[in-house]
Amino acid sequence: MKWGVQGMRSKTSSFNKEIIKQDFRNVGWISIVYFLGLFFIVPMQLFMEMSKEEPSIPDDRGLFGSIFAYELQLFFLFIMPLLMAVFLFRYLHVKGASDFAHSFPMKRGKLYQHHIVSGVILLILPILLNYLILIITAGAVDVQDYYTVTNLGYWLWLFSTMTLLIFMVGVFVGTLTGLSAVQGILTYILLFLPAGLYVLIAFHLSSYIKGYSGDVVLERSIQYFSPLVDLVEFQRYAPDPAEVPVEKLPLIIYGLVAAAFYVLSLFLYKKRSLESAGRALAVTALNPVFKVGVTFCFALFGGMYFTVSQNEYSWMIMGYFIGGTFGYAAASMLLEKTWRVFNWRHLKGWFGYGAVTCALIAIIPFLWQNYESYVPKSSEVEKVFVSNGYWQYQRMVDEEMEIPFITSVESIQSTIDLHEQLIEVSNPLEDGRDSFFFVYRMEDGSEIYRQYRVDEQEVAEAKKAVYETEEYKKIEYPVLGLDPDKVNRLHIGSYSGQGGKEFYDPELIAGFVEVLKEDIEGISYEDMVTPRGLYSNVHFTVNGNPDNPFHVQLHPSFERTMGWLKEKGFYEEAMTLPADIHRADVYRWPENRDFSNNHVRLIVERLKEEGIEPLEFTSDEKIGSLMKGQQNQEDGAYIVAFYFDERNSDHYEVLSFGKEDAPDFIKEHFE
């Protein structure tokens, strides 16, 4: 019995409530600020909304919705746990305070655990108090329009878990460094580091590897590399199906990560040298790792910066050099706490760390060479989706639309042939005018993504073979899959902005959709890529929703549709007529000029800047002849700019002619 009492006393004495009290006095203000911040953003906002005669209309995100200022909630979530970690372990970074704290008759591990307990209590208490206020409110009045008990419970789980994670990461960094300012900066760097590296490496790969789709990589998985990015990525205003910022499984993982950082921090705290106070890194063995990491990250960032601005490999390499040099110098200054690092010793170190950085940068793309050359065999492909960008595909996925895949054997083979040609002619740094995005659904259930940008004429024949298939037209023109019975409203607006036509009658809508589909099904490749004439925009409101993919450009070459409009008497309202055009300016297509872009509209802007005088027309007859020009041409003999309002010189459309199809009155003037 005596032994049991002694054991209990020993266990009790391991807890020192005076340390807890001292922590509460020193950092309790952080807990108070955290409570007040959340209180005024969430419960107080709820009380104010409920007291209004006309309350705001809440969305279905509950406590993560617009009424409760999710961004401000994040501000306190990001700041308060880190402040707690910095001020609670501030003594580690002050030599006298560190010596005094560790002179107590208490093991280091116990001292560490006391501070952790203090920090956890002071951080969770504000969240728990606000939760209790909201749960009591929910029991007293009807708050179903604003949040549910389930939504509130998830809010408590999310904020508790993320608060502890940020706090423990801050503590971990505090045990690694001897400077409080460095602790704050490095904590956020560590929390963002995986996502930042992911972005830099993804951009690096997209600059070297043909077909690598940075859009897919960043959009689909970047949030998994940083808890802060995961929280910030939550979109309240976009058509995002997510109801909560972080799903259950990632939240469980973040909790486990917080526990792992607790264990690592305890280990480092016990091993930490008392003399490390005031050093940038308390563990000197990590100095080389820190230097390599900073040099590598800055080198990649420098390469990305110069690549985006110049799109040349020579400038990319220059960016690696400048960024890596700056990163090495910054790391050296931070570790040695002086700017005097420009000497022979550091120059030798710069060569060494630079060599390691260069090796890492060179190895990364080399490991992906098989990715670049891989083209699936047609026998392995179940179906394929082809479009001009990732976002078109992702929107269909997000809105749970039926995706119009290419499934026939012949069309799949045509797509693979196009893919093979794109590998041959594409250059990751060349920003071609045409974008190609492939999604292969394989027989084994996997998916393969590739993306390329080239100029159309380099793959024209292979592109034509794909574009003229019936299946591809369903991708390019979603209106082919539109059920006219679901259309509430149809609006046709001409490019001139004059007039326009709206239909509400189901019979008129069904008749228009029928002839439109017939024209699209019979459209040629040439009319798809370089249509003639000035188009009108057609927008459909489907099931009451005007935001949908069923919009289409209505071209004069759509003969059945034009005939239907004329028959119903709508043509003059729906299409642009010569009378709608104020004037037409004709330029000779410039030869031997130093234009960095062949886009015809940009060429017109350049010609105007140079003061080139155009041939001007105002008569309806000649304007009507000029309206037969082509769109989207990258070369030709003559360019025509159509102006619709003499008061607005920025509102114009451009068509162009080759020598063989230009009106005689143009050729006579310029020749």
Tell me what the pLDDT averaged over the chain comes to: 83
Quickly state the pLDDT bin for 159 (edges 50, 70, 90).
Answer: very high
* pLDDT value at residue 239: 45
Across 486-500, 588-602, 627-641, least confident range: 588-602
Percent of the chain with pLDDT over 70: 88
Pairwise CA distance, residues 419 & 376, whole Å: 10
pLDDT at 185 over 60: yes
Quickly state the pLDDT bin for 529 (edges 50, 70, 90).
Answer: confident
Across 212-216, 239-243, 319-323, 402-406, least confident range: 239-243
Residue 493: what are its φ and ψ, rounded to 5°? -120, 125
* pLDDT value at residue 548: 81
* pLDDT value at residue 93: 67
* pLDDT value at residue 565: 92
* pLDDT value at residue 34: 95
What's the Cα-to-Cα distance from 43 to each of 36, 126, 153, 472, 555, rounded to whole Å?
10, 12, 15, 53, 56
DSSP state of 587: E
The stretch 588-593 carries a mean pLDDT of 76
* pLDDT value at residue 228: 86
Highest mean pLDDT range out of 24-38, 83-97, 106-120, 269-283? 24-38
Residue pLDDT, tens place only, 469-525? 989 999 889 899 888 899 999 999 888 777 788 889 989 999 999 999 999 999 998
53 vs 540: which has the higher pLDDT: 540
* pLDDT value at residue 7: 42
Quickly state the pLDDT bin for 417 (edges 50, 70, 90).
Answer: very high
Pairwise CA distance, residues 137 & 65, whole Å: 18
The stretch 284-310 carries a mean pLDDT of 81
What's the Cα-to-Cα distance from 522 to each of 138, 386, 507, 516, 628, rounded to whole Å?
61, 19, 23, 10, 20
Amino acid at 7: G
Quickly state the pLDDT bin for 441 (edges 50, 70, 90).
Answer: very high
* pLDDT value at residue 344: 63
pLDDT at 586 over 80: yes
Structure tokens at 195: 């996502």
* pLDDT value at residue 6: 42
* pLDDT value at residue 134: 94
Pairwise CA distance, residues 225 & 151, whole Å: 25
186 vs 555: which has the higher pLDDT: 555
DSSP state of 503: E
pLDDT at 306 over 90: no
Quickly state the pLDDT bin for 167 (edges 50, 70, 90).
Answer: very high
* pLDDT value at residue 280: 59
* pLDDT value at residue 275: 54
Quickly state the pLDDT bin for 73 (edges 50, 70, 90).
Answer: very high
* pLDDT value at residue 10: 43
Amino acid at 425: V
CB-based burial label for 238 (10 Å; 0-12, 13-18, 19+): exposed
The stretch 254-280 carries a mean pLDDT of 79
Quickly state the pLDDT bin for 155 (edges 50, 70, 90).
Answer: very high
Percent of the chain with pLDDT over 90: 27
* DSSP states of 218-236: HHHHGGGG-HHHHHHT--S
* pLDDT value at residue 32: 94
The stretch 240-260 carries a mean pLDDT of 83
pLDDT at 81 over 50: yes
Residue pLDDT, tens place only, 559-578? 999 999 999 999 988 898 99
- For Cα atoms 41, 44, 47, give the angle at the middle one, nearest 5 degrees: 135
* pLDDT value at residue 13: 47
* pLDDT value at residue 337: 67
* pLDDT value at residue 196: 83
Alpha helices in 343-502 (DSSP H): 344-366, 369-373, 390-398, 409-425, 460-467, 470-476
Strands 536-542 vs 652-657: parallel, antiparallel or unpaired: unpaired
pLDDT at 3 over 60: no
The stretch 245-268 carries a mean pLDDT of 90
Residue pLDDT, tens place only, 4-17? 434 434 444 456 77
The stretch 259-287 carries a mean pLDDT of 74
* pLDDT value at residue 1: 35
The stretch 34-56 carries a mean pLDDT of 87
The H or E element containing residue 564 is: helix 559-568
Structure tokens at 326: 């700056």
* DSSP states of 73-131: HHHHHHHHHHHHHHHHTGGGGSHHHHHHHTTSSS-HHHHHHHHHHHHHHHHHHHHHHHH
Strands 615-617 vs 583-588: parallel, antiparallel or unpaired: antiparallel
How many Cα atoms sit within 13 Å of 624 on the Cβ side? Answer: 6
* pLDDT value at residue 9: 41
The stretch 425-437 carries a mean pLDDT of 80
Across 203-212, 233-242, 381-390, least confident range: 233-242
By the 8 A CB rule, do 215 and 451 touch?
A: yes
pLDDT at 384 over 90: yes
CB-based burial label for 587 (10 Å; 0-12, 13-18, 19+): buried
The H or E element containing residue 641 is: strand 638-643
The stretch 601-613 carries a mean pLDDT of 85
* pLDDT value at residue 101: 61
The stretch 68-97 carries a mean pLDDT of 85
* pLDDT value at residue 2: 40
Residue 526: what are its φ and ψ, rounded to 5°? -60, -40
Report which of 255, 245, 259 is spatially closest to residue 73, judged by C-alpha positions.
Answer: 245
